[in-house]
Amino acid sequence: MPEPDTFVDAGFLESGPNPVVLVLAVGLVLMGGLLTWSVISHRKHQKALDAWLEPRRWHRLPADRSLVSRWRGTPFGTGDNRKVADVVAGSFQGYDLLSFVYSYETSSTDSDGSRSTTTHTFHLVTLQLPAFLPDLEVTPESVGSRLATAFGKVDLDVESDEFNKRFVVRATDLAVGHAILHPRLVERLLREGRVAWRIEGTTLLTWASGRTNLQRLDARIALLAAIADAVPRHVWLDHGHDPLAR
């Protein structure tokens, strides 16, 4: 007959909780908590977005699939499973604008051979220009950024050394780029901080990582309008538009 202590230990092991079941249970609880948090966070965000829209008389739009392929530059043109969400539209100082969230996925293979998927999310604000303009892109300076290329653009420097250190400017038409980035606009951009924006065809757009930032949205809208207003009249006239006739 086994010793009493041994008998008790064996009984405990036989009747104790199954480690696998315990891990699964904890996992389900955690997943349930994350799902609940995600739903609550989403509803809170949608309520805040509605509160932002109402006084500005902006409105929601369906998630237009054409937005994922309408532009060529960053952050578009890469990844899989491209989606848009939180599409809203409105006007500001006579310009038509869109705000939306864009996301795409990339996959990679880990060292153990398993594949993982990463979702990349960006908030974009676009402003419709009255005429086509050559591509002009301004992005914060980063390591190796001047080695990158986009649409065959060439780097452009302005008269401000501080601006040249903080930003990379690429343009398909250097004369137009210099005309738009005159000292008053350069001074405004330096006050704004690390904001990326681009003129692409008839669109002026800005983008930032993450979902819709309602605390920054008004400032980004105002900046786009200021950039559009800063385009000299002679540039517009050269491209078939007279701003004085607007």
Predicted confidence at residue 147, as pLDDT, reads 47
Alpha-carbon 216 to chain mean position: 12
Compute the distance between CA of residue 232 and CA of residue 226 in angstroms, rounded to an integer.
12
Alpha-carbon 111 to chain mean position: 30
Residues 133 and 176: beta-carbon distance below 8 Å: yes
Compute the distance between CA of residue 211 and CA of residue 223 in angstroms, rounded to an integer.
19
Compute the distance between CA of residue 158 and CA of residue 97 in angstroms, rounded to an integer.
28
Render each residue's pLDDT in the chain as its tens digit; 246 residues. 555 555 455 554 455 667 766 766 766 666 666 556 455 666 888 899 999 999 999 999 999 999 999 999 999 999 999 999 999 999 999 999 999 999 999 998 877 778 889 999 999 999 999 999 999 999 998 744 554 545 556 789 999 999 999 999 999 999 999 999 999 999 999 999 899 999 999 999 999 999 999 999 999 999 999 999 999 999 999 999 999 986
> Which residue in 210, 71, 236 sits closest to 137, CA to CA?
71
Predicted confidence at residue 7, as pLDDT, reads 47
Half-sphere exposure of 103 (CA within 13 A, CB side): 17
Total-model pTM:
0.80
Residues 158 and 170: beta-carbon distance below 8 Å: no
Predicted confidence at residue 153, as pLDDT, reads 66
Predicted confidence at residue 40, as pLDDT, reads 63
- What is the bridge-based pairing of β-strands 115-140 and 95-109? antiparallel
Backbone angles phi, psi at 88, to 5 degrees: -130, 150
Predicted confidence at residue 46, as pLDDT, reads 87
Residues 134 and 173: beta-carbon distance below 8 Å: yes
